[in-house]
Amino acid sequence: MILIDGKKIAAELREELRKEVVELKVKHNKIPGLTVVLIGDMAPSQIYVRMKEKAANEVGLKSEVIRYPGTVEEKTVLDKIDELNKDESISGILVQLPLPKHIDKQKVIETILPGKDVDGFHPMNVGNLSSGYESSVPCTPLGCYLMIKKIEPNLSGKKAVMIGRSNLNGKPMAQLLLKENCTVTITHSKTKDLKAECLEADIIVAAVGIPELVKADWVKKDAIVIDVGINKTEKGIVGDVAFDEVSKVARALTPVPGGVGPMTIACLLKNTIECFKRSKN
Ligand code: GUN
């Protein structure tokens, strides 16, 4: 079994990006800039944003975090996004989710210029991705995709099963694999026989938030299994895949932690650099 070392692959990607930033600086006399907006004091968001900031600095991006209390008015946030949209030194804007209830998430997403939308959440980017045009691609599925491609460069004709249909992961992941000529099934909570669907799959991407849902007898021998889940349980953080047993049947499997997580962050940096380059073309 191949343990897909997301930490290592992400470190390699960051090193490539670091070199690219140096080249871009020579070429344009500017460096790509990432601004993260963090609202409220939710612990996981604080941790993620700190990791994003650290990684951005590591590859030499200009990085900034704008923090607001959870009580901030929606208008203040939207006005700030407008200001960031107009600021030429900023290539990418990310508003960390989830947001407090009184702030309209969709309004926030749609206020970010599509060309600066490093999350790939803007309807313009969602549409472009599904139409097969150039777009920002959400960081988590992009990271999963790069890991899958490392294991299997030719995905044509493979059967891929997404567990979960979120805008954050399942749907964009399906689009990426469809582009690679996979036959894609998106499953969800109303799917009749999830185990049977999984048993057909050459590739499984689990992103539902149910601890250790995917068991060994759900997985075809030699399948590639990507575990997006991060679930707090009594025995610590576990994924959506029963790691120990599935590792005995799968061809390749991502660990939790150390799989998808580091790749998500590296892909955010990649998206920031892509936005910068597109703005120069
Ligand atoms: N919260 C959890 N994951 C994400 C993500 O990928 N982007 C943003 N903006 N917020 C998140």
Considering the domain boundaries, does residue 91 fall inside one? Answer: yes
Residue pLDDT, tens place only, 18-50:
999 999 999 999 999 999 999 999 999 999 999
Atom of ligand 1 nearest to the CA of 94: 9
Q: C-alpha angle 166/273/264, rounded to 5°?
A: 35
Q: What is the pLDDT of residue 281?
A: 87
Do both 160 and 219 map to the same domain? yes
Do both 103 and 191 map to the same domain? no
- C-alpha separations of 203 from 4, 37, 152, 237, 248 in Å: 13, 34, 10, 23, 16
Range of the domain at 180: 139-261
Ligand 1 contact, 271 CB (< 6 A): no
Q: In a 3-state reduction of DSSP, which class is residue 133?
A: coil
Do both 144 and 107 map to the same domain? no
Atom of ligand 1 nearest to the CA of 98: 1
DSSP 1: -
Kindly give the distance from the C-alpha atom of residue 142 to the centroid of ligand 1, in angstroms, as a whole number. Answer: 13
Q: Which strand (E) or helix (H) includes residue 236?
A: strand 236-238
Considering the domain boundaries, does residue 8 fall inside one? Answer: no
Do both 146 and 189 map to the same domain? yes
52 — pLDDT class (breaks 50, 70, 90): very high
Domain harbouring 169, CATH code: 3.40.50.720
Number of domains within the chain:
2
Whether 261 contacts 237, CB under 8 Å: no
Ligand 1 contact, 139 CB (< 6 A): yes
Do both 82 and 167 map to the same domain? no
pTM above 0.95, yes or no: yes
Ligand 1 contact, 169 CB (< 6 A): no
Considering the domain boundaries, does residue 21 fall inside one? Answer: no
Q: What is the mean pLDDT of residues 129-137?
A: 97
Considering the domain boundaries, does residue 206 fall inside one? Answer: yes
Averaged confidence pLDDT in the chain: 98
- C-alpha separations of 228 from 159, 184, 210, 270 in Å: 18, 17, 11, 19
Residue 162 forms beta bridges with which residues?
A: 186, 205
Considering the domain boundaries, does residue 103 fall inside one? Answer: yes
Q: What is the pLDDT of residue 6?
A: 98
Considering the domain boundaries, does residue 196 fall inside one? Answer: yes
Residues near 8 by beta carbon (within 8 Å), at least 6 away in sequence: none
Considering the domain boundaries, does residue 6 fall inside one? Answer: no
Residue pLDDT, tens place only, 158-210:
999 999 999 999 999 999 999 999 999 999 999 999 999 999 999 999 999 99
Domain harbouring 96, CATH code: 3.40.50.10860
